[in-house]
Structures are given as C-alpha cells and as structure tokens.
C-alpha cells in the first residue's frame, strides 16, 4: 500500500516530490488560492491565478488542473484541485473534512502512475491533516490482481502531507489504519466469486483477524446445522460452496460498552431458484459488502485499540440454484426459534442476518448494528450513494446517521411503519420473507429483521445496497467497483462509544 508521512508547510517550494497538490477556491472575484498555496504564488512570479484562469480552472470540487513548474518549484508538476467556496467564516480551520478528503482523493487519482505526491492542502488541525491523508490513501487504491500486463502495484508509492498541526502524526496513523481496512474491504468486494466463497472468506478473516489481535471462531456447515442456524443453512444449501458463520471479538479492559456488528456476506447472489435476470446479477459479487464492512471495522477497532468491546458476525453463504437449493414455499426454523416461510429465495440476505442477529444477542451487547446490501428498494429510495438507516431506537439511528456524516459517508434515517408488518404474515409459518407490496421494500425488509432482534436490545440496520459498489465513474476518493462503504461509519461509532472525540 501507499505510505504516508508528514512535513512542515514551509517546505512546499523546495519539497522533493514528483507532484505538489494545492487547493483553489471559487472566489467572488475569481480564483482564490487555498491555505497551503500561498507561498507558491510568489515562487511562480505571482502568476498562479492567471495561469489557472488561462487553463479554464473555476475552483469547483472535482476539478483538477496540472501545471508544469519549469523549475520554479522543486516539484516538476503543480496540481491544483478545486475546493469550491472558501469556508463561510473565512478561517483556516473552517473546512469541512469531507471536502478535504474528496479533494485529496481526486488529486491522487488524477496522479495514478506518479511515484511521490505531496499534498499541500488546508490542514490547520490534526483532524484536517488526517482527512487529507485518508482521502489521499483511499484515492490511491487500485485493484490490479487480475491484470496480466501493465500496472501491478499501487500507482502512487508515497504521499506526504504538508501540515504544522499538533497531533497530526496520530491523525495520519489513524488514517492509515482506516485506509488499510477500507482497501481490504474493497479488495474482497472486487474479488470474483470464483476466488471468494464462504470458506475462503472465513479463512481470510481467521488469518488477518488473528494477526490484528481479534479472537476468531468459524462455524462450518455441520456446526451451523447442529447449532440450529436454519437461515444460513437454508440460503447456503444450494451451493457447492457451503456456508460459514464467523465470529470476531475484541475486548478492552476499560470498555464501558459492548457493540455487536452483523454483516450480510453473500459471496454471490444469483437469486437462487428465484433467479435474478442477467442485468441484475453481474455485480452480485458485491453482496458480501456488509460482512466486508464488519470485518474491516473490527480490524480497525483492534488495531486502534479502542476502549470498547466489540463482536462482529460475518454471515457467509453463496445463494445458488441447484437440486439441493431451497424452494419458494420451503419453511425453516431460525436460530431464534421462529419459523420462516421462504416465498422468494432472492430475499436471502434477511435470512442469514436473522441468525447472526439472534446469535449476537447471546453476547449480551448494548447495541446491535447490522449492515447489508439488502434491497434494490434502498437504491430506488435514496439513490446509489446514500445508505438507509433504520432501527428500534431513534437515538441510535440518529447517532449512526451523525457518525456517518462525520466520516463522510452519506446515510439517512428511514422509518419502520407498523402497518407494514401485516404483509409479512404467512399462512403456514410464523413469518414470510416477502411482502406482497413492492413499495417500501427497504422498510419491509427491516421490519422482517426487527422480529428477530433480542428483547430489550437497541438495534439498527444499515441498508447499503447502492453505496457498496460504484457502477459509475470514480469520484473523489471512491473508485469504480467495491467502495468499502460503511466501514468507516462502524469504526466511528466504536470511537464514539469509546468516548473519543469525533474526527
Ligand atoms: N442482494 C440483493 C439486493 C441488491 C440489489 C443489492 C441491488 C445491491 C444492488 C438482495 O438479496 C435482493 O435480491 N433483494 C430483493 C428482495 C426482494 C426479492 C424482496 C430485491 O431487492 O429485489
Ligand atoms: Mn437476493
Ligand atoms: Zn442479496
């Protein structure tokens, strides 16, 4: 992975690097160099703004201008990234961290193939230095494992963050830890399902999790059958690659709170016998993104040594049609003891999650949060980039939405209207997995899950069907394909419960 280090801001002109990145604002009277760019204008003979205007720069977010320095700076290339309007209060500290993350990511993505990149963006506080580092590291991500020619390794080898802020070293260490987790989640999502099936995912979790200091337990298909995990068994029974349940746990002697995270880990979702149409299937390798986020978050929590207790469950299965697959109208008994009629085998995520949620209840957690690429209805309701947050506790739901916002991950609260519960009544079992109404599909899925939440436990559900996988163009620090979405929100929530300030 790309490495990152710090250097003081007065180094900008003479810093030995292949590209120097600065920011520019859209000002009322033209372009306005951002903090970090001041000294450079002088070195460039006062021509920075005029040069930028001549190449059509407007200072808008997402905009990049590359300017050769002809020896005026040690860096041969100056890269100017748009930051939009200057902070309303006009201060060096007034920046929104997400603007900085995205700007750093945009710049580093535009510099793929460049060896060393120095980021002289506004970083007056440790939080902002961390944001610049994180955006840069996430923007440097690439997935080239399956290419036989060309770039095989990280396209940017070293990042330097120019800052004088106190505490910046700790902030870039946190950023590196987060970026390592998010990059691993992206790799897992991007890995073709022929190379990532439940047992393989469990092996990776065991190996990497143990190295990070987590306790890891894996239940195989026999243990799942014996243990009464009817949902995970039912979804996995159609595949030649049997299911797994992974439990990751982390504890801190001074912890006040125990968090339980449960992730949907469908390594491929064909729909099962309720087969998906081709156009909806080709990206269903991403259906383990929830388990990926839980895994990545537990790794980061352990590596950061946060003052919380945390358990993570990865509910791993491959949803395939075959002679052994579950049939629409089959009934199974879930881990919680309730029976479920399976009317649609493509509504499989909720079936594996209810076993994970009920099992998590045995750990006596204060909070359960499940994360899943659960419904196409989430994308209909909120679009590709905004996750839906639901739950049985409005305060917890609000905390998660706020935490996501702090980390720069878009999430929005959604309701669980009681009148939708009736549609899940089954004529034969305790509950059916499909609501006859297509409308409100994100909500009915969550209402199904709610039935399996242990009594008295605060629970929230994050549907990230859209955010987990970027089918469009790369933007900011988000690449095409696997995004690692919600990993940072889960870490941020743990930091919040560990009593750490938001950053
Ligand atoms: N994995 C899908 C949901 C999904 C859709 C994720 C698009 C990412 C992008 C899930 O298992 C599914 O198939 N859900 C069905 C539920 C329906 C049958 C009630 C859906 O949303 O169509
Ligand atoms: Mn499905
Ligand atoms: Zn699915």
471 counts as catalytic: no
- What's the pLDDT tens digit per position in 179-225? 999 999 999 999 999 999 999 999 999 999 999 999 999 999 999 99
Of 376, 432, 447, which is best to mutate to test ligand 1, by the most ligand atoms within 8 angstroms of its C-beta?
Answer: 376
CA distance linking residue 435 with residue 433, whole number of Å: 7
CA distance linking residue 403 with residue 225, whole number of Å: 37
CA distance linking residue 239 with residue 70, whole number of Å: 61
CA distance linking residue 156 with residue 140, whole number of Å: 6
Residue 464 near residue 371 (C-beta atoms within 8 A): yes
Residue 69 near residue 44 (C-beta atoms within 8 A): yes
The full 3-state SS of 273-306, as one line of letters, equals CCCCCHHHHCCHHHHHHHHHHHHHHHHHHHHHCC
Residue 461 near residue 277 (C-beta atoms within 8 A): no
Phi, psi torsion values for 469, nearest 5 degrees: -140, 125
243 C-alpha vs ligand 1 centroid, how far in Å?
19
CA distance linking residue 378 with residue 391, whole number of Å: 15
For residues 376-392, average pLDDT? 98
With CA atoms as reference, report the closest residue to 4 among 146, 84, 123: 123
For residues 374-394, average pLDDT? 98
284 C-alpha vs ligand 2 centroid, how far in Å?
9
Residue nearest to atom 18 of ligand 1 (CA): 347
Beta strands 19-27 and 30-33 are antiparallel
Residue nearest to atom 16 of ligand 1 (CA): 347
Query: What's CA 328's distance to the chain center, in Å?
Result: 33
Of 341, 375, 424, 444, which is best to mutate to test ligand 1, by the most ligand atoms within 8 angstroms of its C-beta?
Answer: 375
Q: For the chain, what percent of residues have pLDDT higher than 90?
A: 93
Which pLDDT score is estimated for 18? 97
Ligand number, closest to the Cα atom of 438: 1
CA angle 354, 355, 361 (to 5 degrees): 90
- What's the pLDDT tens digit per position in 53-93? 999 999 999 999 999 999 999 999 999 999 999 998 888 89
Residue nearest to atom 14 of ligand 1 (CA): 375
Phi, psi torsion values for 445, nearest 5 degrees: -60, -45
CA distance linking residue 11 with residue 29, whole number of Å: 29
Residue nearest to atom 7 of ligand 1 (CA): 376
**Residue 134 scores a pLDDT above 90:** yes
Give the number of other Cβ atoms within 10 Å of residue 88's Cβ: 7
**Where do the domains of the chain lie?**
3-164, 181-497
Which pLDDT score is estimated for 387? 99
Give the number of other Cβ atoms within 10 Å of residue 385's Cβ: 18
285 C-alpha vs ligand 3 centroid, how far in Å?
9
Give the number of other Cβ atoms within 10 Å of residue 327's Cβ: 12
Confidence of residue 95 (pLDDT cuts 50, 70, 90): very high
Residue 186 near residue 483 (C-beta atoms within 8 A): yes
Which one of the listed residues 101, 350, 359, 488 is annotated catalytic?
A: 350
Confidence of residue 151 (pLDDT cuts 50, 70, 90): low
The ligand 1 atom at the shortest distance from the C-alpha of residue 280 is 7
Q: Which stretches of 439-497 are assigned E, i.e. beta strand?
A: 458-463, 469-470, 481-482
CA distance linking residue 57 with residue 30, whole number of Å: 10
Residue 24 near residue 124 (C-beta atoms within 8 A): no
The ligand 1 atom at the shortest distance from the C-alpha of residue 269 is 1
Give the number of other Cβ atoms within 10 Å of residue 407's Cβ: 25
Which one of the listed residues 276, 307, 421, 458 is annotated catalytic?
A: 276
Residue nearest to atom 19 of ligand 1 (CA): 347
The ligand 1 atom at the shortest distance from the C-alpha of residue 276 is 13
The ligand 1 atom at the shortest distance from the C-alpha of residue 441 is 19
With CA atoms as reference, report the closest residue to 503 among 270, 185, 242, 165: 165
Give the number of other Cβ atoms within 10 Å of residue 64's Cβ: 16
Which pLDDT score is estimated for 238? 98
For residues 359-375, average pLDDT? 98
- Both ends of the chain: CA-CA distance in Å? 23
Residue 453 near residue 391 (C-beta atoms within 8 A): no
The ligand 1 atom at the shortest distance from the C-alpha of residue 286 is 8
Ligand number, closest to the Cα atom of 344: 1
What are 360's two structure tokens? 């998590």
Which pLDDT score is estimated for 109? 97
Domain 181-497 in CATH 3.40.630.10 = yes
Which pLDDT score is estimated for 154? 57
- What's the pLDDT tens digit per position in 254-271? 999 999 999 999 999 999
Of 189, 374, 464, 471, which is best to mutate to test ligand 1, by the most ligand atoms within 8 angstroms of its C-beta?
Answer: 374
Strand order in the sheet with 330-333: 330-333, 339-342, 431-432
CA distance linking residue 249 with residue 472, whole number of Å: 35
* Residue 500 Ramachandran class (φ > 0 left, ψ -120 to 50 alpha, else beta): beta
Which pLDDT score is estimated for 1? 80
Which pLDDT score is estimated for 383? 98
CA distance linking residue 105 with residue 118, whole number of Å: 12
80 C-alpha vs ligand 3 centroid, how far in Å?
41
For residues 369-377, average pLDDT? 99
427 C-alpha vs ligand 2 centroid, how far in Å?
23
- CATH architecture of structural domain 3-164: 3-Layer(aba) Sandwich (3.40)
Q: For the chain, what percent of residues have pLDDT higher than 70?
A: 99
Helix (H) or strand (E) holding 6: strand 3-7
- If one compares 20 and 90, the residue with the highest pLDDT of the two is 20
**Residue 434 scores a pLDDT above 60:** yes
pTM of the complete model: 0.98
Ligand number, closest to the Cα atom of 465: 1
422 counts as catalytic: no
Residue nearest to atom 22 of ligand 1 (CA): 376
CA distance linking residue 208 with residue 300, whole number of Å: 11
397 C-alpha vs ligand 2 centroid, how far in Å?
25
Which pLDDT score is estimated for 152? 54
- What's the pLDDT tens digit per position in 443-452? 999 999 999 9
Ligand 1 pocket list (CB less than 6 A): 269, 287, 344, 346-349, 373-377, 434, 441, 465
- What's the pLDDT tens digit per position in 237-252? 999 999 999 999 999 9
Residue by residue, DSSP assigns 180-219 as HHHHHHHHHHHS-TTT--HHHHHHHHHHHHHHTT-EEEEE
**Residue 153 scores a pLDDT above 70:** no
> Which sign does the torsion angle of CA 381, 382, 383, 384 carry?
negative
Residue 308 near residue 494 (C-beta atoms within 8 A): yes
**Residue 436 scores a pLDDT above 90:** yes
With CA atoms as reference, report the closest residue to 20 among 111, 90, 125: 111
The ligand 1 atom at the shortest distance from the C-alpha of residue 375 is 21
Q: What are all long-range contacts of 418-422, with beta carbons under 8 Å and residues at least 24 apart?
A: 420/444, 420/447, 421/447
């Amino acid at each position: 992975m790309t490495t990152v280090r710090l250097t003081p801001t007065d180094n900008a002109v003479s810093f030995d690097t292949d590209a120097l990145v600065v920011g520019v604002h859209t000002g009322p009277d033209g372009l306005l160099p951002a903090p970090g760019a001041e000294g450079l204008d002088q070195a460039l003979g006062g021509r920075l703004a005029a040069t930028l205007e001549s190449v059509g720069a407007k200072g808008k977010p997402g905009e990049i201008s590359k300017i050769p320095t002809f020896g005026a700076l040690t860096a041969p290339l100056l890269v100017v990234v748009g930051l939009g309007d200057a902070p309303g209060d006009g201060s060096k500290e007034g920046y929104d961290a997400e603007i900085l993350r995205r700007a750093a990511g945009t710049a580093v993505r535009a510099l793929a193939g460049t060896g060393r990149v120095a980021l002289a963006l506004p970083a007056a506080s440790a939080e902002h230095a961390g944001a610049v580092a994180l955006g840069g590291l996430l923007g440097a991500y690439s997935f080239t494992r399956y290419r036989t020619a060309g770039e095989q390794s990280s396209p940017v080898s070293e990042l330097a963050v120019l800052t004088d802020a106190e505490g910046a070293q700790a902030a870039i260490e946190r950023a590196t830890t987060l970026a390592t987790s998010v990059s691993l989640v992206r790799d897992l999502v991007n890995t073709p399902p022929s190379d990532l099936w439940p047992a393989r995912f469990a092996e990776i979790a065991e190996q990497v999790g143990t190295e990070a200091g987590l306790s890891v337990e894996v239940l195989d298909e026999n243990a799942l059958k014996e243990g009464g995990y009817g949902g995970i068994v039912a979804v996995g029974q159609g595949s030649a690659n049997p299911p797994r349940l992974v439990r990751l746990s982390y504890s801190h002697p001074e912890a006040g709170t125990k968090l339980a995270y449960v992730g949907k880990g469908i390594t491929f979702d064909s729909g099962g016998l309720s087969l998906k149409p081709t156009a909806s299937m080709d990206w269903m390798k991403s259906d383990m993104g929830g388990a990926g986020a839980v895994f990545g978050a537990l790794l980061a929590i352990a590596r950061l040594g946060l003052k919380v207790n945390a358990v993570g469950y990865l509910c791993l299965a491959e949803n395939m049609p075959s002679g052994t697959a579950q049939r629409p109208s089959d009934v199974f008994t879930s881990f919680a003891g309730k029976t479920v009629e399976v009317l649609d085998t493509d509504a499989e995520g909720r079936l594996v999650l209810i076993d994970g949620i009920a099992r998590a209840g045995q750990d006596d957690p204060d909070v359960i949060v499940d994360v899943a690429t659960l419904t196409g209805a989430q994308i209909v309701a909120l679009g590709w980039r905004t996750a839906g947050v639901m739950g049985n506790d409005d305060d917890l739901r609000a905390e998660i939405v706020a935490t996501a916002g702090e980390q720069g991950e878009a999430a929005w609260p959604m309701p669980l209207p009681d009148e939708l519960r009736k549609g899940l009544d089954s004529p034969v079992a305790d509950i059916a997995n499909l609501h006859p109404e297509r409308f409100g599909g994100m909500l009915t899925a969550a209402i199904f899950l709610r039935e399996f939440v242990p009594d008295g436990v605060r629970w929230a559900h994050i549907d990230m069907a859209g955010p987990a996988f970027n089918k469009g163009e790369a933007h900011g620090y988000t690449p095409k394909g696997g995004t690692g979405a919600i990993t940072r929100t889960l870490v941020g929530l743990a930091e919040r419960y560990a009593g750490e300030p938001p950053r």
